[in-house]
Structure 1
Amino acid sequence: MTVMSQGHGANDQRAQLEALYAAMAPKGLLPLWESLHALVLAEPQSPAKPWRWSYDEVRDHLMRAGDIISAEQAERRVLILENPGLGGLSAITPSLYAGLQLILPGEVAPCHRHSQNALRFVMEGSGAFTALDGEKAVMQPFDLVLTPAGQWHDHGNQTDQPMIWLDGLDIPTVRLFDASFAERLDVAAHPETVPAGDTLTRYGHNMRPLRGSLADRRPSARPLFHYRYADWRPALDAMASSAEIDPHFGHALEFLNPADGGPILSTISAHVRLLPAGFETRTRQATDGTVFVLVEGEATLELGDQEIRLGARDMVVIPSWVPYRFQAHSQTILFGYSDKASQMKLDLYRECNH
């Protein structure tokens, strides 16, 4: 008799709650107690999936697109690397976007600017350019070029070979805040303002023009936008020749903003790693979902219970808090970018090294 009374009581409470919810719904009200467990998680449970993109396979599709649509028609001829767990969101992680962009010989991708921060990591080709506020950065394989939020930029290819790079943007982050603005210049290319490479000359040697002088022409918060492979690769080799190797990272260097020593962009961090042949990292987890490019070598990535084989220029995403470790079959160079810059500012970042 007591059990039945409790059952009737529970059923009655449920009926009253359902009636309450039905009355609240048209007024935009929801009961937190029904969803608290899904809103405040004990640890990250990213909807993003670990995923690898073969560079050769993506390139084939990108070159086919180049036969069909021009850079001018497309504005940006890009194949989005959409995470299968984030269908319809054009995102590789919940906060980041990735895509491969193609500029064919003689083409210009028209000049525009927008709220989103972007980086370009060159995958193939030599001698094309990204122009930022009228200054060209002539790009070589594995150069890193930035287009910070709000700065005019266009791309052009005056060579006889296709140019392909990886675009990394904070599009999902800007979308979260409903803060997207964009403008297109009324000409395809921004008028040239200074000779190509001028910014590297002024800001690229751990020095800068005296503040307030006429030579200090770049935005003070983010003056440098070209990080050359010819500079970062020897720096990584030099570090590997003398520094103690980190068991979780191998030899790793972070790209920095020379104005403040912080991340290269306000929302995105980037770094490179060198793993000697035969080196196996220890397992680690971090809250920043990270996109990696295998620049050189061969490696196996253990992601949770998956094993992913990576070859030259392959791309892979490691979602937030998924345990991972690398095994280098030959000397391996990795480039990676993530939303660590955003998370650090918001006091969200956490890592766990096993």
Structure 2
Amino acid sequence: MSLTEKPVETAERRSFYDKIDSSSYTALWTVLSNIITPEPRSGCVPHLWHFDEAKSYLLEAGGLITAEEAERRVLVLENPGLRGQSRITTSLYAGLQVVMPGEVAPAHRHSQSALRFVLDGCGAHTSVDGERTVMQFGDFVITPPGAWHDHGNDSDAPMIWLDGLDIPIVSVFDASFAEEHHADQQPITRQPEDSTWRYGANMLPVDYEPTRVSSPIFNYPYERSREALDHLLKQGEIDPFHGIKMRYINPVDGGWAMPTISPCLQLLPKGFKTQPYRSTDATVFVVTEGTGRSVINGKTYEWGPKDLFVVPSWHTVTHEADSDGVMFSYSDRVCQEKLGLWREDRGNAVPLNA
């Protein structure tokens, strides 16, 4: 018996397989090499979406359907290898949402965790469980599972952001619930940025008891995160595979900011090229600054500001920046770590100095 080869199929065996099939049985030895594979095997494929094209489609959609009628006016980024499944990787969802000036995306809540990463425009807002925050370019915003949330745009220009959700993960467990609020916008019961002041100053209320599985902070401003990358670059400790890469954390326990999604922000200095790297967490990348290219399993993808691309599980990737490049990314690494599944291949490289 082999993990990679199936036993020879004889007429007698085929007859047996047909007989047990009628009673909803399958012989393990006929499918073992397909369900327990020597290395990750996925329908997910590398792909890059150019933001300029996406924006033109979103603005066209803005003239076809209102945010209220659509509930969420979003274009799903479907992986070419997983079409019809509303997935960018086998475990994660991605979509680009536009809210036009004066519009409201109505309040609702659901079992799925969601992130927002702002790509275009400024001054729109999102509200989560009674607290409102203004959204600026590059901000990373969390909507915890089960939290009421709505979005509004009081600015004079369209607002576009990336939605990242764990929809496929929740679907695996058949645990999806969703509910509409009785009003388009939920009541605001907290001061603006309350969660940032309460939990984002390296302090917690003295009697704090966690009520969520995700971070109690729900807006991580880009300006502050970007500044941290610059300070680390001056220190000169550049990872050969990632440049300067930081994870967004939950201040309560120092873990990942979300229970099922691992968000990060990284800086690739001008002229820097990463060494070949692969890991089991298929990853979505969003370019916020700079131009360059990524080579995924031997194929080159040229990227610029606001472009998005996906690196499937266990695909070798290198990144090269023509100018200082900054990329937001998210994956299911946190889930894999909790289950003892996550693995990376770094070879024998040593840290570099700037």
Q: TM class, shorter-chain normalised?
A: over 0.9
2:206 match: secondary structure: coil
Show the counterpart of 1:237.
Answer: 230
Describe the superposition over 1:290-329 as per-residue Cα deviations: whole angstroms up to 9, x where unpaired. 0001110011101011001001100000000000000111
State the alpha-carbon separation in 2 of the partners of residues 210 and 87 from structure 1.
49
Q: Is the 8 A contact 2:132 2:192 kept in 1?
A: yes
Which residue identity does 2:201 align to in structure 1?
Answer: H
State the alpha-carbon separation in 2 of the partners of residues 28 and 170 from structure 1.
31
1:350 aligns with 2:343: yes
Which residue identity does 2:323 align to in structure 1?
Answer: S
Q: 1:191 aligned to 183, 187, 190, which one?
A: 187
Show the counterpart of 1:3.
Answer: none
Describe the superposition over 1:19-40 as per-residue Cα deviations: whole angstroms up to 9, x where unpaired. 2112211211001101101111
State the alpha-carbon separation in 2 of the partners of residues 135 and 151 from structure 1.
11
Q: 1:310 aligned to 303, 307, 312, which one?
A: 303
Show the counterpart of 2:326.
Answer: 333
1:18 aligns with 2:14: yes
2:37 match: secondary structure: coil
State the alpha-carbon separation in 2 of the partners of residues 22 and 91 from structure 1.
34
1:247/1:170 Cα in 2 relative to 1: closer, same or farther (>3 Å)? same
State the alpha-carbon separation in 2 of the partners of residues 321 and 84 from structure 1.
18
Describe the superposition over 1:25-73 as per-residue Cα deviations: whole angstroms up to 9, x where unpaired. 1211001101101111101122111000000001100100000100000
Q: 1:45 aligned to 32, 41, 46, which one?
A: 41
Q: 1:202 aligned to 191, 198, 201, which one?
A: 198
The alignment's TM-score, normalised by the length of structure 2, stands at 0.94
1:47-86 equivalence runs, <5 A: 47-86=43-82
Show the counterpart of 1:6.
Answer: none
Show the counterpart of 2:351.
Answer: none
Describe the superposition over 1:117-171 as per-residue Cα deviations: whole angstroms up to 9, x where unpaired. 1000000111111100121111100000000111110111111111100000000
* Post-superposition offset of 1:243: 3.8
Show the counterpart of 1:152.
Answer: 148
1:69-218 equivalence runs, <5 A: 69-212=65-208
Uncovered stretches (5+) of structure 1, i.e. residues with no partner: 1-9
* Post-superposition offset of 1:222: 3.0
Show the counterpart of 1:253.
Answer: 246
State the alpha-carbon separation in 2 of the partners of residues 274 and 115 from structure 1.
33
Uncovered stretches (5+) of structure 2, i.e. residues with no partner: 1-6, 348-354
The alignment's TM-score, normalised by the length of structure 1, stands at 0.94
Q: Is the 8 A contact 1:137 1:145 kept in 2?
A: no
* Post-superposition offset of 1:193: 0.9
Q: Is the 8 A contact 1:109 1:154 kept in 2?
A: yes
State the alpha-carbon separation in 1 of the partners of residues 207 and 242 from structure 2.
36
By percentage of residues, which structure has more helix? 1
* Post-superposition offset of 1:221: 5.6
Q: Percent identity?
A: 47
2:29 match: secondary structure: helix
Which residue identity does 2:190 align to in structure 1?
Answer: V
1:252-271 equivalence runs, <5 A: 252-271=245-264
* Post-superposition offset of 1:234: 0.6
Show the counterpart of 1:228.
Answer: 221
> Cα RMSD (Å) of the superposition?
1.5
Describe the superposition over 1:163-189 as per-residue Cα deviations: whole angstroms up to 9, x where unpaired. 100000000111111110111111111
State the alpha-carbon separation in 2 of the partners of residues 156 and 69 from structure 1.
16
Q: Mark the structure with the bigger radius of gyration.
A: 1
